[in-house]
Amino acid sequence: MLLVVSCSLTGVILGGTTSWAESKLCLQAKTAMNDCLTQDPITKIIEGMSIGLVAGTGAAFGAAWQMRHED
């Protein structure tokens, strides 16, 4: 359970940070793309965090499954 929680939390942090950095770069670009102007940065960060949560949880369950079958 600790593996799932730690991987999920790491996924949320990395996903949110990546989305935040991407939105900052997009807004600072010389030619702003349509996605930058129409999408709310907070919504983009929340989407990144939720994707990170799913990815982290999936990775944790995959690692736990692998460890269980190796024993």
What does the pLDDT look like over 10-30, one tens digit per residue?
A: 999 999 999 999 888 887 877
Give the pLDDT confidence score for residue 71 in this predicted structure. 62
Q: What percent of the chain has pLDDT over 70?
A: 97
Give the pLDDT confidence score for residue 16 in this predicted structure. 93
12: burial class by Cβ within 10 Å (0-12, 13-18, 19+)? buried
54: burial class by Cβ within 10 Å (0-12, 13-18, 19+)? middle
pTM, entire model: 0.79
Residues 40-61, mean pLDDT to the nearest whole number: 92
Give the pLDDT confidence score for residue 46 in this predicted structure. 93
